[in-house]
Amino acid sequence: MGYAELRWLRYSLVFVWLATAIVSVLELRGQSRMLLVASGVTDMRMADALVWAGAAVDAVLGLLLLVWPIRRVYGLALLAMLGMTVVATFMQPALWLHPLGPLTKNVPIAVLLWILMRRSP
C-alpha cells in the first residue's frame, strides 16, 4: 500500500470523526439526546454535556488526524474509539444488532487505525 492510499485512508477517518462531531451537535436536541435518554440518562443538562464532550473528543481527534498524522495520534484515536465503543456497549448493547451498524463499523475503523499506526513515523 503506497503513500497515496494511506493518505486517503487517513482522510476517510478524518471525515468520520469530524462529521460525527458536527452531526452530534446538530442533533443535540434530537437523536443525540434520544440515544442517551434511551440509555438511562434522565438529566437533560447531563445529556447535553455528554454530547458536547463526545463531540469535542471527535473534533479534536479528527483535527489531530488531519494535521498531525503520527503513530501516537493513531494510537490515541484507536484507544478513544475502543473506549467509546465499550461505553456505548454498556449503555446500549443492542447497537451491535442495529441494521446500520453504528458499533460494528468500529471494527474496520480499528483495523484502519492499526494499519496507519504501524506505517506512520
Question: How is 55-80 classified by DSSP, letter by letter?
Answer: HHHHHHHHHHHHH---HHHHHHHHHH
Q: Tell me the pLDDT tens digit for each residue of 4-42.
A: 999 999 999 999 999 999 999 999 899 889 989 999 999
Residue 94: which domain range?
Answer: 3-119
The predicted structure's pLDDT at residue 27: 92
Tell me how far apart the alpha carbons of residues 33 and 46 are, in angstroms, rounded to a whole number. 10
DSSP-based three-state secondary structure for 62: helix
pLDDT band at 1 (very low <50, low <70, confident <90, very high): confident
How many domains does the chain contain in total?
A: 1
* Residue the block writes with cell 498524522: 69
Report DSSP letters for 84-108, one per residue.
HHHHHHHH-GGGGG-TT-TTTTHHH
Q: Tell me the pLDDT tens digit for each residue of 43-67.
A: 999 999 999 999 999 999 999 999 9
Tell me how far apart the alpha carbons of residues 115 and 121 are, in angstroms, rounded to a whole number. 12
- Give long-range contacts, CB 8 A cutoff, 24+ apart: 84-87: 84/54, 84/57
Q: Tell me the pLDDT tens digit for each residue of 66-78.
A: 999 999 999 999 9
Q: Is the pLDDT of residue 3 over 90?
A: no
The model's pTM is 0.91
| CB of 93 closer than 8 Å to CB of 39 | no
| CB of 55 closer than 8 Å to CB of 23 | no
